[in-house]
Amino acid sequence: MQLERLPSGGAAFDVCRLPGLTPYAAGWDLQRELVKLRRRDEIADTLILCEHPPVYTVGRAAKNASNLGAGEEYLRSLGAEVFWSDRGGDATFHGPGQVVGYPILRLKKLDTHKYLRDLEELLILILSDYGIEAGRHPAYTGVWVEGSKIAAIGVKFSSGRITSHGFALNVRTDLSWFDRITPCGIKEYGVTSLERELGAGVTLSEVEERVVVRFGELFG
């Protein structure tokens, strides 16, 4: 694992860019290891950026598997993995064409509400860089464009005020994967992507660069 150190307003954080498609289990294991290291102050605050092969994950808010549509066996038959995760939130999809960010941060104060709003602000600012007016929904965590969800957020707070898990921004994701589930347990709204909203292609590497810049402004 190679960490890229970035200066940010006199402070510094690390960016860990994982090449190719990172299996969800490998990304999860990496997060757990970095949480331990951050708790012992053996690493700086770190932002993991990656892209996963098709995978459905279910967070702690899920009471059962009802939001997994036809069920785990069917979803696996489509070529996707299924994981029950220790993050917050309900069921969602990760896959190619999506920028996934896992901030491993030591918060100065454990304010869960503020941290979630800060992650939303991060994504809203990134989308504004592309001329897209995005915002929040009063009832649901995440980032929205005209009634469609473009980014999902699910996090975990560990002892020592250390964060893990994070956000998933649909850039050029095949949105049909979401049709098989009830994303985040929300039935009344759909999902969208940066590519759909722009009506043009955009590269993940370009979006990742914007993530790093905006992350530095908010969390650096």
75-124 per-position pLDDT tens digit: 999 999 999 999 998 899 999 999 999 999 999 998 999 999 999 999 99
Least confident of 59-63, 69-73, 167-171: 59-63
Q: Which residues contact 173 (CB under 8 A, 6 or more apart)?
A: 93, 95, 96, 97, 98, 193
193: pLDDT strictly greater than 90: yes
- Cα-flanking dihedrals φ and ψ of residue 208, to 5°? -60, -40
Q: In whole angstroms, how far apart are CA 195 and each of 97, 152, 200, 208? A: 10, 16, 6, 14
Q: Give the closest residue to 188 by CA, choosing from 116, 118, 140.
A: 140
Tell me which residue range forms the domain holding 146.
4-219
Across 178-217, b (16+ Cβ under 10 Å) vs e yields bebbebbbbeeeebbbbbbbeeeebebeebbebbbebbbe
Could you tell me the sign of the dihedral formed by the alpha carbons of 133, 216, 109, 31, in that order? positive
18/3 Cα distance (integer angstroms): 10
First-to-last alpha carbon distance for the chain, in angstroms, is 22
CATH classification at residue 170 = 3.30.930.10
Q: Which residues contact 198 (CB under 8 A, 6 or more apart)?
A: 130, 131, 132
Residues 103 and 31: beta-carbon distance below 8 Å: no
- The pLDDT value recorded for residue 117 is 97
Q: Give the closest residue to 142 by CA, choosing from 164, 162, 170.
A: 170
Q: Structural domain tally of the chain?
A: 1
- The pLDDT value recorded for residue 182 is 86
Q: Which token pair is 202? A: 């955009």
Least confident of 10-14, 68-72, 206-210: 10-14
148/88 Cα distance (integer angstroms): 20
List, by residue number, the catalytic residues.
184
121/98 Cα distance (integer angstroms): 18
9: pLDDT strictly greater than 60: no
Q: Which token pair is 13? A: 């954080």
